């Protein structure tokens, strides 16, 4: 630990015209002559739609010696940084039939099924928003709600169910769904644009001239670097290089989109799906690294998503082939999509593992969920849903194993994870009790 005469505030910003760039964790932020500050615990969710081919996903053996499955194969290099949890159930609320897809995404974080209605909204507050109300008090943004597909659809998106149920995971209240942001440019400006700027024309002009947001904070960067030890100067340079790289990729996407007369998405969204996902994941990492927020959810696709994946040889729309009726060709194509999604998630985990944070890495200080609200895609089964729990949880979580639970409500796990953030609720959704912390942990409760 570098000891400095005066510690830098964790909330320090580099300010310029239309820019407010938060800093990553630096050794100089620790109070002088004090013990190292305990790293912040972050929460993240990556949701995938339309269920999975469970025989390709679910490991057969329990414990640390389980065999990695074809769907999870991209995660093998990160084996010790995640655990597979099976036996979690997302059972619909009694008296609210139908809407398998609407229920899947809504219940995943609220543990409450929506009613049949295209206009009346009724869900519970989602776990991410429960956490955001508490730990969000310590950050500039309480939470981020992200997606890859647009969330602007209205009306009915599952027979008899309003579109918000399939288009978002996050509910601030029973009737308040939070829309997702899928445009990297708008997300970048939210993270690094200075909302207090009195001249928004300056920001617009910078964007049109393809200038970097970092150009306006060059003087402040030089001043700060002069006061930092070498180790912190290196960290700051690497972080700002990452910010500049993300901004450059957004600018390139905007240039490409301007060359096409008609596009199905606004400027700032790459035409290539994989590039889009990587860009959103990199923005997530920057948001965590700079401690702008500690709570982020991202939907890889809406429930009933019709996304196609020609880049992996699947030109069929995802949702129709997920109803495979056990036809080998459709099963193989759906399994291929499942594995592709996991491959993208593995890239996010690798980035989190490679990003320093205090005495460790961001992944060490994360609780990151990957999963779906439907198990078997053909039957819409809400039992034994796919669920991966990644990250070290600041010493709470232990990876490298498959833990079999026995018909446990997903809400029970939610209560257990919330406890680690110091957020203690007696009950959520259909919860019955907390899990034994030893099932997930190194023995710390």
Question: What are 21-66's pLDDT values in tens digits?
Answer: 777 877 777 654 344 467 899 999 999 999 999 999 999 999 999 9
27-41, 261-275, 327-341: which range is least confident on average? 27-41
Which DSSP symbol is given to 68?
P
Radius of gyration of the chain (CA): 22
Q: What pLDDT, on a 0 to 100 scale, did the predictor assign at position 388?
A: 98
Mean pLDDT of the region 262-289: 84
Strand, coil or helix: 89: strand
Evaluate whether 287 touches 190 at the Cβ level (below 8 Å). no
Evaluate whether 83 touches 370 at the Cβ level (below 8 Å). no
Can you say how many angstroms the Cα of residue 397 is from the centroid of all Cα atoms in its chain?
Answer: 18
Q: What pLDDT, on a 0 to 100 scale, did the predictor assign at position 5?
A: 46
Q: What pLDDT, on a 0 to 100 scale, did the predictor assign at position 281?
A: 97
The average confidence (pLDDT) of the chain is 86
Token readout for 361 is: 């890495």
pTM across the whole model: 0.88
Mean pLDDT of the region 364-389: 95
Q: Is the pLDDT of residue 12 over 90?
A: no
Q: Around Cβ 199, how many Cβ atoms within 10 Å?
A: 10
Mean pLDDT of the region 63-81: 97
Evaluate whether 71 touches 338 at the Cβ level (below 8 Å). yes
Q: 243 or 139: which carries more pLDDT confidence? A: 139
Q: What pLDDT, on a 0 to 100 scale, did the predictor assign at position 332?
A: 97
Q: 17 or 26: which carries more pLDDT confidence? A: 26
Q: 201 or 282: which carries more pLDDT confidence? A: 282
Token readout for 315 is: 């030109």
The count of residues in the chain is: 445
Q: Is the pLDDT of residue 431 over 60?
A: yes
Q: Is the pLDDT of residue 206 over 70?
A: no
Q: Is the pLDDT of residue 266 over 70?
A: no
pLDDT band, residue 440 (cuts 50/70/90): confident
pLDDT band, residue 2 (cuts 50/70/90): very low
Token readout for 28 is: 């100089």
Q: With the C-alpha atoms ordered 151, 156, 157, 160, is the resulting torsion angle positive or negative?
A: positive
Which residue ranges form the domains of the chain, and what is each CATH number?
1-37+196-268 (no CATH), 41-182+273-278+294-439 (3.40.720)
Q: What pLDDT, on a 0 to 100 scale, did the predictor assign at position 410?
A: 97
Q: What is the per-residue DSSP string for 185-196?
A: HHHHHHHHB-TT
Q: What pLDDT, on a 0 to 100 scale, did the predictor assign at position 89?
A: 95
Q: Is the pLDDT of residue 237 over 60?
A: yes
Evaluate whether 49 touches 318 at the Cβ level (below 8 Å). yes
Mean pLDDT of the region 324-350: 97
Q: Is the pLDDT of residue 174 over 70?
A: yes
């Amino acid at each position: 630990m570098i000891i400095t005469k005066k510690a830098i505030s964790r909330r320090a910003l580099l300010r310029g015209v239309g820019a407010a760039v938060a800093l990553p964790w630096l050794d100089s932020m620790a109070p002088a002559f004090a013990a190292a500050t305990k790293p912040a615990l972050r929460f993240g969710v990556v949701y995938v739609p339309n269920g999975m081919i469970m025989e390709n996903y679910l490991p057969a053996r329990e414990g640390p010696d389980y065999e990695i499955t074809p769907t999870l194969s991209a995660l093998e290099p990160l084996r010790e940084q995640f655990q597979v949890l099976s036996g979690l159930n997302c059972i619909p609320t009694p008296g609210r039939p139908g809407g398998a897809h609407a229920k899947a995404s809504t219940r995943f974080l609220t543990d409450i099924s929506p009613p049949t209605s295209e206009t009346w909204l009724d869900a519970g507050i989602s776990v991410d928003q429960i956490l955001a109300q508490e730990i969000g008090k310590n950050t500039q943004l309480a939470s981020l709600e992200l997606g890859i597909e647009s969330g602007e659809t209205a009306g009915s998106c599952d027979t008899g169910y309003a579109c918000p149920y399939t288009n978002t995971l996050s509910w601030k209240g029973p009737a308040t769904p939070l829309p997702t942001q899928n445009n990297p440019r708008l997300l970048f400006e939210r993270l690094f644009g200075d909302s207090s700027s009195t001249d928004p024309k300056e920001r617009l002009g910078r964007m049109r001239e393809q200038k970097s947001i970092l150009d306006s904070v060059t003087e402040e960067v030089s001043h700060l670097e002069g006061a930092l030890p070498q180790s912190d100067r290196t960290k700051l340079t690497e972080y700002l290089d990452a910010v500049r790289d993300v901004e450059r990729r957004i600018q390139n996407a905007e240039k490409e989109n301007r060359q096409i007369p008609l596009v199905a998405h606004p400027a700032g969204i790459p035409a290539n799906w994989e590039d889009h996902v990587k860009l959103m994941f990199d923005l997530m990492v920057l948001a965590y690294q700079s401690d702008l927020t500690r709570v982020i959810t991202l939907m890889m696709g809406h429930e009933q998503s019709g996304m196609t994946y020609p880049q992996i040889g699947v030109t069929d729309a995802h949702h129709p082939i997920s109803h495979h009726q056990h036809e080998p060709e459709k099963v193989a194509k759906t399994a291929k999509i499942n594995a592709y999604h996991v491959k993208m998630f593995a890239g996010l985990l690798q980035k989190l593992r490679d990003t320093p944070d205090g005495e460790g890495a961001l992944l060490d200080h994360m609780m990151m969920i990957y999963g779906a609200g439907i198990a078997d895609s053909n039957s819409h089964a809400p039992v034994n849903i796919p669920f991966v729990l990644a990250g070290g949880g600041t010493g709470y979580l232990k990876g490298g194993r498959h833990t079999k639970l026995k018909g446990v409500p997903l809400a029970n796990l939610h209560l257990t994870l919330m406890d680690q953030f110091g957020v203690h609720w007696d009950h959520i959704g259909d919860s019955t009790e907390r899990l034994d912390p030893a099932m997930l942990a190194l023995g710390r409760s």
